[in-house]
Amino acid sequence: MIKLLPDVDTGIDDALALIFLSEAHKQGQLEILGCTAVGGNVEVEQTVRNTIKIWEMTGVDIPVASGAERPLLYPLNTSPFVHGDDGLGNTFLPPPKISPSDVTATDMIMRLSHQFPGKLTLLTTAPLTNLAVALLQDPSLAGRICEAVCMGGGVFTGNVSAVAEANIANDPEAARIVFRSGIDITMIGLDVTHQVFWEENDLKALVGIGNERADFLLQIIRYISGAYEKLSGWRRCVLHDPLAAAVCLYPDLVKTEKCHVDVELSGELTRGMTVVDRRGRTPLGEENIKVALEVDAERFKIMLMDSLLGWAQGG
Ligand code: RIB
Ligand code: CA
């Protein structure tokens, strides 16, 4: 069974991913060994609180370790406009009862990698600062990780700039360390995540439930949909992080191509861009990353909605 360590910046789409994962964990489809959080969509204190709160709401007992407050070199850019001041669509949930783990995110990654060498799958849905710090501390960590599924980057598009995606752009130095580490990485970038979204029409089954859990889901989904509408004129909830979570369980949801990928650190217009070499020869370096280029969007959307409905109906 997959032994999973998610690294998150919860965040609305992170929250949807966590609920999906908790349902899979309860059904014995994977084992979530712990969870690390980092500053990203909101400050790290809030991402930790949100992460613990979601695990609590889903009834799974997962230790959450607090990680980096800010990127390796530069200040953090949070996204309250997209995720709300509380990171969860201004739902302002009561604080969780459980406290964060007393180990740091780096320690949790290290400890689990030693406890389960070659068996640990990392899922990252956030800036890669925590993993980069761990790799800087001990580069041999890479050899103990089975694989990492990373939501971030893009081949043909960006979101925070024309060419850069938020998780990579928030800490490009960290992303470069991780991408160059030798870990077997699947990059779930915007090329595939922009193909998986819900519009209001897709939410009918949730609307029909009418309980507190369904209302919470609708509130956060509609909040982020409104933010996308203001930004792009298209009202929809893009399911970035849930897709990466689902790929951990069902890798055949996406088609990948192994490419040389590196992260631009210094371009005036391109900092944070994932530079993907698809020329079929590799003058830039070895093919180091499996880049997702196609996704079975319908299968994924049904799978995710079924999982969320399952959780909501149990409330
Ligand atoms: O670009 C999408 C990513 O940035 C997601 O992880 C989302 O949570 C945001 O932080
Ligand atoms: Ca995220």
Ligand 1 atom, smallest distance to 241 CA? 6
Residue 16 has pLDDT above 80, yes or no: yes
Task: Tell me what the mean pLDDT of segment 289-294 comes to.
Answer: 98
Q: Among candidates 170, 206, 236, 192, which has minimal Cα distance to 312? A: 206
Average pLDDT, the chain: 97
Sign of CA dihedral 215, 304, 291, 69: positive
pLDDT band at 14 (very low <50, low <70, confident <90, very high): very high
Tokens of 309: 């409905």
Residues with CB under 5 A from ligand 2 (ion): 9, 11, 14, 125-126, 241
Q: Among candidates 196, 214, 195, which has minimal Cα distance to 204? A: 214
CA–CA separation, 259 vs 33, rounded Å? 30
Ligand 1 atom, smallest distance to 11 CA? 8
Q: In the chain, where does DSSP find H-type helix?
A: 12-26, 44-58, 80-83, 105-115, 129-137, 141-144, 166-170, 172-179, 190-193, 204-207, 212-232, 240-249, 297-313
Task: Tell me what the mean pLDDT of segment 273-282 comes to.
Answer: 88
What digits encode the pLDDT tens for the residues 133-143? 999 999 999 99
Q: Strand 2-8 and strand 30-32: pairing?
A: parallel
Q: Among candidates 301, 188, 185, which has minimal Cα distance to 241? A: 188
- Best residue for ligand 1 mutational test, from 187, 241, 243, 273 (most atoms within 8 Å of Cβ): 241
Count CB neighbours of 45 within 10 A.
Answer: 13
What digits encode the pLDDT tens for the residues 26-62? 999 999 999 999 999 999 999 999 999 999 999 999 9
The protein residue with its alpha carbon nearest to ligand 1, atom 7, reads 13
187 has which bridge partners?
150, 291
Ligand 1 atom, smallest distance to 41 CA? 10
Tokens of 52: 């613990």
Sign of CA dihedral 43, 171, 292, 184: negative
Hey, which residues are catalytic here? 240
Q: What residues contact 313, with CB distance under 8 A and at least 6 apart?
A: 209
- Best residue for ligand 1 mutational test, from 14, 47, 149 (most atoms within 8 Å of Cβ): 14
Residue 283 has pLDDT above 70, yes or no: no
Q: What residues contact 1, with CB distance under 8 A and at least 6 apart?
A: 28, 29, 30, 31
pLDDT band at 284 (very low <50, low <70, confident <90, very high): confident
pLDDT given for residue 51 in this prediction: 98
Ligand 1 atom, smallest distance to 165 CA? 1
Question: What percent of the chain stands above pLDDT 70?
Answer: 99
CA–CA separation, 60 vs 62, rounded Å? 6
Ligand 2 center from residue 40 Cα (angstroms): 7
Residue 59 region by backbone torsions, left for phi larger than 0, else alpha for psi between -120 and 50, else beta? left
pLDDT given for residue 285 in this prediction: 80
CA–CA separation, 245 vs 286, rounded Å? 26
Residues flanking ligand 1, CB < 6 Å? 9, 11, 13-14, 40-41, 125, 151, 159, 165-167, 240-241
The protein residue with its alpha carbon nearest to ligand 1, atom 10, reads 41
CA–CA separation, 301 vs 246, rounded Å? 10
Ligand 1 center from residue 73 Cα (angstroms): 20
Ligand 2 center from residue 194 Cα (angstroms): 14
Whether the CB-CB separation of 189 and 274 falls below 8 Å is answered with yes
CA–CA separation, 131 vs 107, rounded Å? 10
Backbone φ and ψ of 60, nearest 5°: -115, 150
What digits encode the pLDDT tens for the residues 176-205? 999 999 999 999 999 999 999 999 999 999
- Best residue for ligand 1 mutational test, from 42, 76, 83, 125 (most atoms within 8 Å of Cβ): 125
pLDDT given for residue 156 in this prediction: 95
CA–CA separation, 271 vs 158, rounded Å? 11
pLDDT given for residue 68 in this prediction: 98
